[in-house]
Amino acid sequence: WFLCRAWLRTVPAVAPAASTLAWFGPALVATQAAFALNSTTGLETTLFSAGIMLSLALGQFADDTNRWHGAGAVFALVVFTRPEGAAVFGLILAGRLLGGAGRSPAARRFWLLDAGIGVLAVIALLSWRFAAYDGHLLPNTYYAKLGGMTSWSTAFHYVMGLVGRH
């Protein structure tokens, strides 16, 4: 509701009724059984979704109060939660920038701080994965979901590479 209201206030035609109209967003989400089912499956899905919403809310608080509230720090945690966290982080940063996050000097500083924290988290995560996953930037579950090893020779080279490095 908070995010819907904040965004509707920027639309002059509906700004006076933004508080009332904003209830349609959470109401639509609440009526979607598929969303409720899929958002609670998987170990980290709920945490991932909550982190995204909290980061968006903190970014909006920063815009409303002209003070930084730590959206980038929360997004750093989101990046660590799921493999696609970095892509979601990038899309939301781009959306904030296109939505006017850089209009004022203070907002530009907040956006740059959030972006810097998130980029550092992505670099740290990829560096750790590269070291811990034997040169791969994505977790093993990603490759398993793609169908695993496509041939015996690929699997053999993968295992021999691991043995050679350790």
Q: What pLDDT score was predicted for residue 151?
A: 56
- Please state whether the predicted TM-score (pTM) of the whole model is above 0.95: no
By the 10 Å C-beta count (0-12 exposed, 13-18 middle, 19+ buried), 83 is classed as middle
User: At residue 23, does pLDDT exceed 80?
Assistant: yes
DSSP-derived secondary structure letter, 78 = H
User: At residue 32, does pLDDT exceed 70?
Assistant: yes
Distance of CA 87 to CAs 84, 97, 105, 140, 162, Å? 5, 15, 26, 18, 28
Residue 67 C-alpha from the chain's centroid: 21
Q: How confident is the model at residue 21 (pLDDT cuts 50, 70, 90)?
A: very high
Q: How confident is the model at residue 157 (pLDDT cuts 50, 70, 90)?
A: confident
pLDDT digits (tens, 9 = 90+) for 52-89: 989 989 988 888 888 889 999 998 998 888 878 888 88
Q: What pLDDT score was predicted for residue 149?
A: 56
pLDDT digits (tens, 9 = 90+) for 39-55: 777 778 888 888 998 99
| Residue-wise burial string across 3-28, b where 16 or more C-beta atoms lie within 10 A, e elsewhere | ebbbebeeeeeeeeebeeebeebeee
User: At residue 3, does pLDDT exceed 70?
Assistant: yes
By the 10 Å C-beta count (0-12 exposed, 13-18 middle, 19+ buried), 111 is classed as buried
Q: What pLDDT score was predicted for residue 92?
A: 85
How far, in Å, CA of 15 to CA of 152, rounded?
61
pLDDT, mean over the chain: 83
The average pLDDT across 107-119 equals 88
Q: What pLDDT score was predicted for residue 153?
A: 58
Please enumerate in sequence order all residues whose Cβ is within 8 A of that of 102, keeping only pairs 6 or more positions apart, or say none.
Answer: 108, 111
